[in-house]
Structure 1
């Protein structure tokens, strides 16, 4: 089977699947290159409210396909960083569903998502020190923001793998699920995310990523959207809210960093 990224949209949730079974879903240059345009298409789709990134079968992603590093390692890294930044900038909530190995480039992609849910038994590692690669500054900052400087240094200096329990304790993942329960939990939680206000989510995502300068922008969007009035009315009428503001129809909100 050819290495590729598969995608589908069901009930407002887009699922992107990393598929390279011969190499535990390692990312090839072609896969890195195909991710940004795929994400642009899904971001522009008003039917998509949440994005899930996962791997096919029993593992998430074992990193970059090492064979792609032989010709031009700097070009391979450039492609990986472009894919990571595109995922981080996706304007709707993103969740990585992790099992098996989440290593190297896989950890880079997982860290670029907003949330990470893992199955027990998942192993995590950031492994450039095993290859003599300088880990990108953007990916390093993102890792530090998740786990703090000490754990980031432990992972980067050693290249050692850690288990899901330690990943949870350090903040690398948000939830750890028993074997066989990951998919159901992801489906349940993404339904919750899809039912919430995209306006709130988009603004919160920018603010959490350091865009305090966008406060006036989001205050204006809030006045225009009608989401607040709908949320209050729904609460008083004891019914689910029907939020209508959409990132897709209002334009990309800005870059996440």
Structure 2
């Protein structure tokens, strides 16, 4: 499982260049408490600063990924006019930290992925699920207005119409439906999910971390309405300065695996 990184149930394990962050509250289907949202950016910062970590897998302990925010924390803030202010702030900061994580992130999803669980999964670069996974975005069930950044993350994945379907209804969708909608990238047999995610993470870890960082920034810039040109120009110069381009070409010519050493 890995060891807790804080006094909240978030556990990290490392194996080679792959780190696994586990939401470790299975008795509550890994529902995120206010303290867990607040702690998540610090956990991610430690992993981002570790040059040995090239890929991050995010998952949940037990049969569920994450059943969302712990409902008991939603109205616990000190401001009676906005009792969700603190938890909303920490939730948004956690999502931003995951979106901005500089290395590839893969959500490994089984069972419930609801509300805040979808926010976590959507903040990862890629999402692999097994057939037990069910997805729902449920603010309409509790009278919450979904935040712009969370809504945009959904729109970017599934488009405006499906975003409205999920947010209007709060209904759950199964893994095949999520795959067709674009909410997940792959559905893998339950007994093969962990092995396949690890295989794919090892593939990512073997590729150029510099190219991957550039890709993340270009995609973010284009999604935000930029043209990506300045980002590409800056990273192209870095491929030459860091020797990544030369190593890639030499490895291809020599018919050997490349040895990419850039770590950011």
Q: TM-score, normalised by structure 2?
A: 0.91
Query: How far apart are the structure 1 equivalents of 2:24 and 2:262?
Result: 34
What per-residue deviation string (whole Å, max 9, x for no partner) do you get for residues 23-81 of structure 1?
A: 11000011111110111110000000000000001100000000011212221111111
> SS of the counterpart of 1:233?
helix
Q: What is the 5 A alignment of 1:235-246? A: 235-246=252-263
Report the Cα distance in structure 1 between the residues aligned to 2:234 and 2:20, rounded to whole angstroms: 30
1:197-221: per-residue Cα shift (whole Å, max 9, x none)?
0111000111111252422321221
Aligned residue runs from structure 1 range 213-232, under 5 A: 213-232=230-249
**Which residue of the partner structure matches residue 134 of structure 1?**
145
- Following superposition, the deviation at residue 3 of structure 1 comes to 5.2
Equivalent in the alignment of 2:115: 104
Is this contact kept in 1: 2:13–2:19, CA < 8 A? yes
For residue 158 of structure 1, the aligned residue among 160, 166, 169 is 169
Once superposed, which parts of structure 1, at least 4 consecutive aligned residues long, lie more than 6 Å away?
A: none
TM-score, with structure 1 as normaliser: 0.93
Match of 1:47 in 2: 52
Helix, strand or coil at the partner of 1:209? helix
What's the CA shift string for 1:142-162, capped at 9, x where partnerless? Answer: 110000111011001111110
- Check if 1:56 corresponds to 2:61: yes
CA distance in 2, matches of 1:87, 1:38: 10
Residue 3 of structure 1 contacts residue 20 of structure 1 at CA under 8 Å; is this kept in 2? no
CA distance in 2, matches of 1:18, 1:175: 21
Matches of 1:22 and 1:54, distance apart in 2: 15
In 2, Cα distance between equivalents of 1:59 and 1:21 = 7
Q: Is the 8 A contact 2:22 2:59 kept in 1?
A: yes
Cα separation, 1, equivalents of 2:143 and 2:113: 19
* Mapped partners of 1:87, 1:25: distance in 2: 17
Task: Give the counterpart of 1:94 among 94, 99, 105.
Answer: 105
Larger RCO: 1 or 2 (CA < 8 Å, sep 6+): 1
What is the match of residue 254 of structure 1? none
Matched, 1:183 2:194: yes
- In the alignment, is residue 203 of structure 1 matched against residue 208 of structure 2? no
Asked if structure 1 preserves the Cα contact closer than 8 Å seen for 2:128 and 2:186, the reply is yes
User: Matches of residues 25-44 of structure 1 in structure 2 within 5 Å?
Assistant: 25-44=30-49
For structure 2, the residue ranges without an aligned partner over 5 or more in a row are 1-6, 78-83, 223-227
Unaligned runs of at least 5 residues, structure 1 = 248-257
d(CA) in 1 for partners of 2:85, 2:176? 34
Aligned to 1:251: none
Q: What count of residue pairs does the alignment treat as equivalent?
A: 247
1:8 and 2:25 correspond: no
2:26–2:60 CA contact under 8 A, matched in 1: no
